Structures are given as structure tokens and as C-alpha cells.
Amino acid sequence: MAERGASGSGSSGDSLDKSITLPPDEIFRNLENAKRFAIDIGGSLTKLAYYSTVQHKVARVRSFDYSGKDAEQDHEPPYEISVQEEVTARLHFVKFENTYIEACLDFIKDHLVNTETKVIQATGGGAYKFKDLIEEKLRLRVDKEDVMTCLIKGCNFVLKNIPHEAFVYQKDSDPEFKFQTNHPNIFPYLLVNIGSGVSIVKVETEDRFEWIGGSSIGGGTFWGLGALLTKTKKFDELLHLASKGQHANVDMLVQDVYGGAHQTLGLSGNLIASSFGKSATADREFSKEDMAKSLLHMISNDIGQLACLYAKLHCLDRVYFGGFFIRGHPVTMRTITYSINFFSKGEVQALFLRHEGYLGAIGAFLKGAEQDNPNQYSWGENYAGSSGLMSSSPELCPTQRARSGTFDLLEMDRLERPLVNLPLLLDPSSYVPDTVDLTDDALARKYWLTCFEEALDGVVKRAVASQPGSVDAAERAEKFRQKYWSKLQTLRHQPFAYGTLTVRSLLDTREHCLNEFNFPDPYSKVKQKENGVALKCFPRVIRCLDALGWEERQLALVKGLLAGNVPAAFTASPRFSPGPPHKCALIFADNSGIDVILGVFPFVRELLSRGTEVILACNSGPALNDVTYCESLIVAELARYRGSALREERLLLMQTGSSSPCLDLSRLDKGLAVLVRERGADLVVIEGMGRAVHTNYYAALRCESLKLAVIKNSWLAERLGGRLFSVIFKYEVPAE
Amino acid sequence: MGAWLGRQRWLLRMGAGRLGMATERHGRAADASASSAGEPAPGGPGGRRRELLRRRASSASEPPVGASASASASAEGVRRSRPGSYSGAPSVSRQRVESLRKKRQLFPWFGLDIGGTLVKLVYFEPKDITAEEEEEEVESLKSIRKYLTSNVAYGSTGIRDVHLELKDLTLCGRKGNLHFIRFPTHDMPAFIQMGRDKNFSSLHTVFCATGGGAYKFEQDFLTIGDLQLCKLDELDCLVKGILYIDSVGFNGRSQCYYFENPADAEKCQKLPFDLKNPYPLLLVNIGSGVSILAVYSKDNYKRVTGTSLGGGTFFGLCCLLTGCTTFEEALEMASRGDSTKVDKLVRDIYGGDYERFGLPGWAVASSFGNMMSKEKREAVSKEDLARAMLITITNNIGSIARMCALNENINQVVFVGNFLRINTIAMRLLAYALDYWSKGQLKALFSEHEGYFGAVGALLELLKIP
């Protein structure tokens, strides 16, 4: 409670529980540039949304002006690096308890400078109650938005933009969360919002939805009736009671009616024949816990049954649940899931959302921002700035949960370009980029988390070294260390905090954290140097290759592709035979330096010479020592190879839209996807551990594909049944 | 002879006449502190057995211990084609019945339905007994007949619903009256003991029994009363019973009825309904829990679903919230309460109708939703709570029934079960809700003998009728 001192900015005179010290760089971040606000005030929680811009440093590469200079000079870097400021758009969502609303509004007022915003979109039941307060504090006009419209807009937005947003809850597995891989078609679906009552809405398109039914038996019934029965006032405490109770003491079960015969009849004796049926026939006291549990079962079962009846009537099999009754409570997710499975016999899936609490605020924000067309962009969850799924369940410690839930953040970055599926995916709806699900695989999880912990020192050192001129680099690097370390610790205890935990998500989180502390490209200098060295060798390598016979050359080319990954010899000797040339090859490049220049470029050259067009796709933004799109443009130019191919557009350098060391083929730059379709790409080459092993190892494509990598991790090598520096060379031809 | 059931403190009183059915007699425990008493809505879990057998067969995993769901559910969509499809345990008894039927069934003729809360007993009293027969009638049989027909209450908790008696009925060539008797299931041991005391077993009679209790008490009947029960499927009995009773009418009146203008206290009328085209029919049996059946013909029906929120839930929660001890008392309180103090209505949230979704302001948005607030909790009366409980459970049953009717494409819905006994509030609400939310497509029907159809079905099985 230390952070709740009495010195809250602008609220020092308030009573203790309303005053709160808000660390500005931790909660309401980027307020100074904020524009457009939306607020969703529920029964107990307020969710504030705002749009802001983030200024951060990016490393830019730029060719030297070579006129009058000899580019081949020794000791000269091949290009220059400059650090520039870049402005990107970010959506901020902050969730806090209604108790703090006044302190928060004061804080916002004090930190909001120079905004042109005049209006705030408001939704939720409390929008009415707090209207005057908001108008007075922020001097913004409150525009009230329809609750359900906001909810659905928000739901569509998170389903479209946040991978692993939806999950099923499996009570007996560890962990209990099983995330849904992004479905390209999210419609139609059923949204069951369990607030004080229940609303059942059928959503057919972005803008078309219909209230098809509801029930008055909802969260308010659990709370209200529960408070009457147990004299317990708080919702969370009621859930806590319920988690300790035995409903069979209160409910009349089938075995109570049938006696022992239920077994011989094949009946499940534990089914409830009549909720609270025993309280009607037995004259005795019932424990609060038992009554709360019985009530929870009664309400969850009833909602599940109605949801199934509506799903059946409308032929829908996906039902998303939201509202304060759910709000991430494992107890309610468990009983709702049970009920849906029971009543639908497994035909309907109960799905929950990681950002369920934010739907209203997101929707209200989108309503207000329609002129900015937020839906035309792709957005990505920023792992550095987002709190992750709450996991401390009320059973474990209700007070701790309440405290840790005081402030919860979600940040989403607007991506430069829209992202779409690679058109060559065999089945986009079943494509899962990641090879190993670390949420499922406890052994692998333990290994990788430790691995990333151990590598942290090195990353910090590298970050500091990359900015020798900066006075605060060490300080920022230390902050980065703390942030990433705490993320890793969170993931140790709650592997499901950001969706499915994977090597990719661990890598991406690290990149997000580095960016957060202005280390946009710690490898920029290393890459520059290695590119310089490789460029010098390039002409010699080409001459050697050209001197070889066909088959030898193919082998050498493959060796070259792999050699960039590792300095070890390539021992296996696959046999090559010339087939008809491909029309167009799509190559996903990996590392800068030797890899791309001495490995990929000669390979590309060979393909071009066979008459195959080549699309070389590199990362849009930096990640580790991976070659970026900008770097690829420069080094390709400097290599001066196949200049005519570039000019004639038989070789196209493209960006992937990603800044990850891994590759998600379902979220690729739209321009790339369009080109792939236009050129009729019929070969996909994916190289490197990140792109071909940690991700896409099992990716099924509609055309031929080649996945190659050298296993540079002994644990992984062992897992895959090989040795360190074993080679993955996976050539796949789709079944006819 | 008065102490049929073990307890000695029986008392007969006039029922709570404010419920609009003043002609009826209600048994009621005089002593408020007495454990038992009264009657919650009975009916038991309504024939889950067959569904569950199917469920297991279809490889659905058994629900884990401690987890729950309303017993009912499952096995929707599987039509039960009858007749004579007994399976498993009951088949033995069935054979016994068959062998007994070759002779004329001996008196006494009983049908028994042992539910989760109430036992329903129908007894056929032959009125055409000849002098010769009377001469031959053994003492114990005579004593039973006299005892049952000369009393309207038995022990502290047994009640004969005199107003339901069907007069001059012809059954298996015998003329007589059909009596309807009920008592709480927890007095079952006393009933069995009485059977022993009165030496029932010497009559070589068969007890046809349905409901879960037929299984639960089978062993007690055998070991204590030396009586062999013939166990019958409760849904078979229910369907058989309702079709039969509807066909014989109600002493010249219609068995089936509906409400016109159910929402209007002034204009509301209970009117007879001629169920001349009974099929397809959605049958909603509201006992302790609720079972919902789709009936397509005399021999073809399926269980659609069920819910554990039934009469037992209403009465159980009322006991906890108001301290009431009888079903009649709970209903009486409900009749005086105001549920809008307890429930949060649409207009409480939106100030009026929620036009975006076409929701009227008077609709309940959250049952017991106002009880989230401490001030409002302190401001409500027990009567308000009882009323809200009644409205909550009734609306929910109406809602599930409506969805089932839509899914099954059935327009007439018959509500039966003892939850509806002396419960005009619930019946009118069901009638109104079904009509309103279906925009007049669905019709709610009711039947005079509410909770006795299972017992009647059991009696018909005994006599092999039809």
C-alpha cells in the first residue's frame, strides 16, 4: 500500500482512500500528447482510453554519398547510421477502481497540456453518475455512447488486432488457459455479456449486430442474492466464499432423489436436480460458503443453458463471454465453461477475452475516433506497456487481487502498415506460427525462461555499448533490465499473461522493452561492421561459385545459406537435380552481414539466372542482428549485383511489416502479400532459427517451401533429436 | 386410525385464501418451528434416467464430482419412441406386471410418484362394490379404503386434494372415484411403516411407482414393508398421465385452461381450453426441478432439456430469505410483496425503455439487482423478497420454455407440476411472458391436476391402460 500515499497530485486534501500517488510515467503515460479520450465507468471499475503519440529513437541507415569517393576503401563502414526521432501512434487504456476516479481526473487535468480535445466519449452505467464530475474536472463535453454498441466495437477490435485474445478455460489443465489462434473470420459470433443482467447479442459484421435475448439472472443476482444470504457485501468476497463451499449441502442432487440407484441406472448422481432444493426440505443452518457456491452454480448453469439455446437457434458455435461476472475470475469462467459444455454436449465453445474489461472503453474510443479511421490500421499489443492477464485468483488472496488490480494497463501501437495473411498459407484459419507452446510445455518453458534470464546481462551490455555517446545509456539499460526481468518473472508464474507463451513472444517482449527505453537497435553497429566485411568478400565468393559445376554450386549455395547462420561445416550432402525453374521465389532473410550478403545474395543470383523472379522480404524494423529492409536496400545496392534485375524488377526487395526475430505469416505487410499474389510466387524460402524453427517449422503452404536453419542451441538440438549445430533442411512439396 | 403418518401434530386448516383459489383446502403445519411441513413444489428431477443412459453411451464424459449442472439437460434431440421400451432395471418389474395382468388386477389400485420433495399418490375408490364383494373384502383392504376416503388429511403432512377428485370414473370396467393425495417425501419412511403395520403385503397387491424415489425407497419397501415395487419411468408416466386425464376431463369441465389478459388484474380470466389437437406439445413439468419434453404423439416424445431452477429453488430460497416454512406461506408472502423494490428494472438503468434493443422499461434487467446496494437491502420486506423470488424463477422457466418451443418449432406449451399449485401469480406471469416475448406466437396452457400426472401414469401402468 506504500504507493497510496496521501500526496496525490491535486488531491492532497481528499480522504485517505481516495488519494493516491500516481507515478506519471507508469500509469497515465504519454498524457502530454494525448488527444481523444473515452471513458467507460462500470459498477466498480473505470476504464480510460486515450490516443497519444510516442516519440522514440530509431536507428536509420543511409548510404554515403559516393560521388568522388572510392567505395572500396578499407576501414570505411559501408553506410552510416544516424539516430533519429520518430513519432508513432499509441492507444493507452488504463483500468482503475471507481474510488480513484476523482484523483485520476485531477491528475489528468494537471498533466494534460495543450490538447485540442473538446469531447470525451463516455459509456457504462456510471457514465451518468460521473458526467458532471468529468465535465467539471476535465472541462470536456461528455458524449454518451450506447453501452452495447461500444462493447461490440471493442470486441471486434481486440479480436482482429490482438493475437491470442480469446481463450478457452480448461479447469484441469495446467495452465488453465488455452488461447485461440487468430481466426481470419471472426464473424459471426455470439457475445454474452454478464453484467448485473445478461445480454445476448449476435454479431454478424463490423457494424451489424442484434440483441437476440437476455436474462435477468446475472451478476447482479449473484451479488444481490448472495449479499442477502451470506451478509457478505463485496462481489469478490462472495466469489471467495463460493470457491470454498460445497454446493451439494444445499442443492438437491440426483442421488438425493434416486438414492444409490443412480449408479445402476447410469445416472450421474452429482447432477443438480433442484438448486437450493435441500434448503426447502431440511431444517438446519447452511454455511455461507455452501450457499454462495450453490448460487454460483445456479446462475452459471442458467446462463450457460440460455446461451446454448440461443446459439442453437442461431446456428452459432462460438460464444464470447464478458462482463463483470467474468472479469477474469477463474471461478466463474470455470462454472460457465462447465455449463456450456454440459448443455451443448461440446458443440458450443465458451470463449473468454484477455482484454474483456477494456471492450467498452475501446469501443467508446473508436466511436469518437471514427474520423481517424482506426479500423483501417493494424494495431499490435505492446508487451512492455501492458499489464497482462490478471491471474491472482480471488481464491488465493482476494485482498492482493484487489490491490494488484488497482491499475491495469493496455497499450497498443499503431503499425505503419496494415497486416494480412500470406496468401500462400494452406489454411489460414489453422495456421499457428509458433512451433512450441510454452504455456503447455512446462519443461520447455522453464528452459527458455532461464535461457532469457541468463542472456539478459549480455543484452544490457550490448545495449549500453550501442550508444557510446549517450550519458544516460547505462541508466536506461538498467531500467530495461528491471522491466524485462520482471516480465520474465511474471511469465514464470503466469505463463498465460500475454496469450500463448512462445519463444517468439519472449523475443518480442524483449524488443518492446528495449524500445521502451530508447534502445531501438542495439545491433546497428555490429550489423554495419559485418555488412562491410561481407561486402568485401562478395565479389570473390561470386567468382568462386561461378567456377563450380552445377551440382557442386547448388551444394555450395545451400552451405552458404546455412553458413551465415553458423561458422560450422555442413556435413550432410543432399543431392540436387535441376527441375523446371520456379516462377517466383519469396525469401525471408535472416541476419545481416555474411548471412544475407554471402549466403542469400548468391542464392538469389542463382535463382535469377534460372529465370526465377525473387521477392526478398526483410524486417521493417530492427530485431537483434536481423537485416532490416533499409539495410537490405543499401547492401544490395552496394553489392552492385544483378543491378539490372533490381531495375527490371525481377528482384524485389520488400518489407515484412514485422520487427520480430520470428515470423508470423498471418500478420505480414499488405504490400508484400499483394506482390506475392501478383507475381504468383511458387517457392517460399525461410531461413534461420527464429523464422524456420521457433516459428513456421510446421507451417503448411500451398506451394513448395524450403526451411533451413542451423540449431545453435544444444537444448533445442537435443529436443529435436540432433546435436548442436545440426542442420534443418526441410523441403516440402504440397500434396496434390 | 388418524395417525397414518408418524407425526401426531396434524392439523387441517383453510389455505391462504388470498391466492384466488379459495375453494381449496391446504394442509399446513401448525407449529412454525416444526421441521417438515408444507409443500414445496414437487415432481422430482423428472426422468433424467434415460437421457443419462444415452449420455453415457454417447461417450460424453461423466461430470466430475462436485461439479454440477442442472440434472436435466442432455440428450436433447433423441426422440423416445414408445411403447414398451423398458430398459435395464425396470424390465424385471415389467415382467412381473405382465404376469399379474393376466389375472384381473386386485384392489387396491394405487399409483405412486415419489418426487424429490413430494410424494403423489392416486387412489381409485371403487364405488360399484357389490354386497358379495364387500363380504369378501379382507379387513385390511376395507380399512385402507375407509381411511383414505373418510379423511382429507393424514398425519401432520398428508393431504387429500378433495377438489381434484374425479368422480364416477370408469377404469377397467369398474366405476369409482379417483383420489389425489400428497405428502412430503421425507415422510416416506412413515408411509412404508404404515404399509407394514396395515399388513399391505398380505393383499398381494402391486405398487406401481415412478419418480426417483421409486429407486431410492425400493429396498425399504421390500425389507420393511415386504412390498415389491414396480418401478416405472417417470417421463413415460407423465406423458401417459397427462393425455389420459385430459381425455377424461374434470368432472364434466375442461381439464386444460389458459389465461386471457393475464397482465390485467381486472380483465384477467381463466378460460377452458380444448386440447383437441394436442400434438406437437411442449410439456414443462415444474417440480423441485424442471423437465421440458416435446411430445409428438402418444408414444413419441423426447426430453428437450431441464433446469435445476424450479419449485424447490423458489421454496428453498424463500425459506432462507424469509424464514417461511411452507409453500403456502411463501406464496402468501409473495402475493403481498413488491418485486420492483428488489429487482433492477430496465427503466432503473436507462430511465425508460432501452430503445436500441427494444426492451421495455418494466422488464427486469437484473433479478435481485437492487440488493447489491446496502441501503436497498435494508429497505425491502420479506414479502418483497418472496415476490421477487417467485418472479425470478417463473420468468426464467418461461424464458427457457420459450427458447425450447422456438428450437423445437412448437406453439403450444403446457405447464404442469406442483410449483403451479395455488400459484396464480406464476401462471399468469408465464402466460403473459410467453405471449409478450413471442409476440403472440406461443400459448401457455395449464392443467387442473398440475402435479399428479406421474402418479396417474403409474396407476394406468398398473391397470395396463390403454
Residues sharing a CB contact under 8 Å with residue A564, sequence separation 6 or more, in sequence order: A590, A591, A593, A594, A595, A596, A598, A599, A600, A687
Give the range among A365-374, A483-492, B8-17 with minimum mean pLDDT.
B8-17
Q: Are the beta carbons of B49 and A196 separated by less than 8 Å?
A: no
| B66: closest CA of chain A, how far (Å) | 7
Q: Are the beta carbons of A253 and B71 separated by less than 8 Å?
A: yes
Query: B302: part of which helix (H) or strand (E)?
Result: strand B300-307
- The answer to whether A213 and A219 have CB atoms below 8 angstroms apart is no
Give the Cα separation of B201 and A326 in Å (integer).
57
Give the Cα separation of B408 and B420 in Å (integer).
24
Give the Cα separation of A624 and A234 in Å (integer).
48
- Per-residue pLDDT of A288-308, as tens digits, reads 999 999 999 999 999 999 999
B308 contact A CB<8A: yes
Q: How confident is the model at residue B61 (pLDDT cuts 50, 70, 90)?
A: very low
Per-residue model confidence (pLDDT) at position B153: 93
Instruction: Quickly count: other Cβ atoms within 10 Å of residue A72's Cβ.
Output: 9
Residues B407-420, mean pLDDT to the nearest whole number: 97
Torsion of CA A298, A304, A305, A307, to 10 degrees: 140
- Per-residue pLDDT of A696-712, as tens digits, reads 999 999 999 999 998 88
B459, pLDDT greater than 90: yes
Residue A524: closest CA among A56, A54, A55, A58: A58
- Per-residue pLDDT of B332-345, as tens digits, reads 999 999 999 999 99
Which residues, numbered 208 to 247 in chain B, qualify as contacts with chain A under a Cβ-Cβ cut-off of 8 Å? Answer: 211-213, 215-218
From B55, B67, B217, residue closest to A338, measured CB to CB: B67
Q: Give the cell for residue A243.
A: 470457491
B4, pLDDT greater than 60: no
B18, pLDDT greater than 60: no
B12 contact A CB<8A: no
Residue B328: closest CA among B4, B48, B32, B49: B32
Q: Which residue has the higher pLDDT, B21 or A267?
A: A267
CA dihedral for B6, B10, B14, B18, sign (positive or negative): negative
B58 contact A CB<8A: yes
From B44, B357, B377, residue closest to A211, measured CB to CB: B357
Peptide bond into A567 cis (omega under 30): no
Q: Which amino acid is at A413?
A: D
- The answer to whether B200 and B225 have CB atoms below 8 angstroms apart is yes
Give the Cα separation of A129 and B31 in Å (integer).
50
Q: Which residues pair with A53 in a beta bridge?
A: A89
- Per-residue pLDDT of A580-596, as tens digits, reads 889 999 999 999 998 99
A309 contact B CB<8A: yes
A664, pLDDT greater than 80: yes
Per-residue model confidence (pLDDT) at position A417: 82
Peptide bond into B278 cis (omega under 30): no
- Per-residue pLDDT of B136-193, as tens digits, reads 888 888 888 999 999 999 988 999 999 999 999 999 989 999 999 999 999 999 999 9
Q: Average model confidence (pLDDT) for chain B? A: 81
Residue A92 backbone dihedrals phi, psi, to 5 degrees: -115, 135
Per-residue model confidence (pLDDT) at position A564: 58
CB contacts of A286 in chain B (<8 Å) are 320
Q: Are the beta carbons of A215 and B396 separated by less than 8 Å?
A: yes
Residues B298-321, mean pLDDT to the nearest whole number: 95
- The answer to whether B38 and B327 have CB atoms below 8 angstroms apart is yes
Q: How confident is the model at residue B33 (pLDDT cuts 50, 70, 90)?
A: very low
Q: Which residues pair with A701 in a beta bridge?
A: A425
| B257: closest CA of chain A, how far (Å) | 27
Give the range among A140-149, B24-33, B71-80 with minimum mean pLDDT.
B24-33
Per-residue model confidence (pLDDT) at position A23: 53
In this prediction the ipTM stands at 0.81
Q: Are the beta carbons of B212 and A258 separated by less than 8 Å?
A: yes
Which residues of B form the catalytic set?
A: 234
Q: Average model confidence (pLDDT) for chain A? A: 85
Give the Cα separation of A549 and A553 in Å (integer).
6
From A266, A277, A280, residue closest to B56, measured CB to CB: A266
Give the Cα separation of B415 and A511 in Å (integer).
64
Per-residue model confidence (pLDDT) at position A33: 79
- The answer to whether A309 and B404 have CB atoms below 8 angstroms apart is yes
Using only C-alpha atoms, chain A has a radius of gyration, in whole angstroms, of 29
CB contacts of A312 in chain B (<8 Å) are 407
CB contacts of B321 in chain A (<8 Å) are 228-229
- Per-residue pLDDT of A75-120, as tens digits, reads 578 888 888 888 888 999 998 888 888 888 888 888 776 667 788 9
| B252: closest CA of chain A, how far (Å) | 36
Residues B355-381, mean pLDDT to the nearest whole number: 93
A403, pLDDT greater than 70: no
Per-residue model confidence (pLDDT) at position A281: 63
From A197, A265, A345, residue closest to B49, measured CB to CB: A265
Give the Cα separation of B403 and A302 in Å (integer).
13
- Per-residue pLDDT of B97-152, as tens digits, reads 555 445 567 889 999 999 999 999 999 999 998 888 888 888 888 888 999 999 99
Q: How confident is the model at residue A374 (pLDDT cuts 50, 70, 90)?
A: confident
User: Measured in Å, how far apart are chain B's first and last C-alpha atoms?
Assistant: 35
Interstrand relation of B229-232 and A35-41 (parallel, antiparallel or unpaired) = unpaired
- Per-residue pLDDT of B208-253, as tens digits, reads 999 999 999 999 999 998 888 999 999 999 999 999 999 999 999 9
Per-residue model confidence (pLDDT) at position B336: 97
Query: A126: part of which helix (H) or strand (E)?
Result: helix A126-129
Q: Which residue has the higher pLDDT, A326 or B46?
A: A326
Burial of A422 (0-12, 13-18, 19+ CB in 10 A): buried
Residue A320 backbone dihedrals phi, psi, to 5 degrees: -95, 135
Per-residue model confidence (pLDDT) at position A662: 95
Give the Cα separation of B3 and B147 in Å (integer).
10
Q: Which amino acid is at A379?
A: W
Interstrand relation of A584-588 and A683-687 (parallel, antiparallel or unpaired) = parallel
CB contacts of B60 in chain A (<8 Å) are 345-346
Torsion of CA B29, B32, B36, B41, to 10 degrees: 80
A302 contact B CB<8A: yes
- The answer to whether A567 and A559 have CB atoms below 8 angstroms apart is no
- Per-residue pLDDT of A596-641, as tens digits, reads 999 999 999 899 988 999 999 999 999 999 999 999 988 888 887 6
- The answer to whether A291 and A245 have CB atoms below 8 angstroms apart is yes
B82, pLDDT greater than 60: no
Task: Return the percentage of chain A with pLDDT > 70, whole number.
Answer: 88
Q: Which amino acid is at A539?
A: P
CA dihedral for B319, B324, B325, B327, sign (positive or negative): negative
Per-residue model confidence (pLDDT) at position A315: 95
Task: Return the percentage of chain A with pLDDT > 90, whole number.
Answer: 48
Residues B18-30, mean pLDDT to the nearest whole number: 33
Per-residue model confidence (pLDDT) at position A282: 59
Give the range among A235-244, A646-655, B74-83, B92-101 with minimum mean pLDDT.
B74-83
Q: Give the cell for residue A168.
A: 478457452
* Most confident of the ranges A418-422, B9-13, B333-337: B333-337
- Per-residue pLDDT of A214-268, as tens digits, reads 999 999 999 999 999 999 998 989 999 999 999 999 999 999 988 877 666 666 7
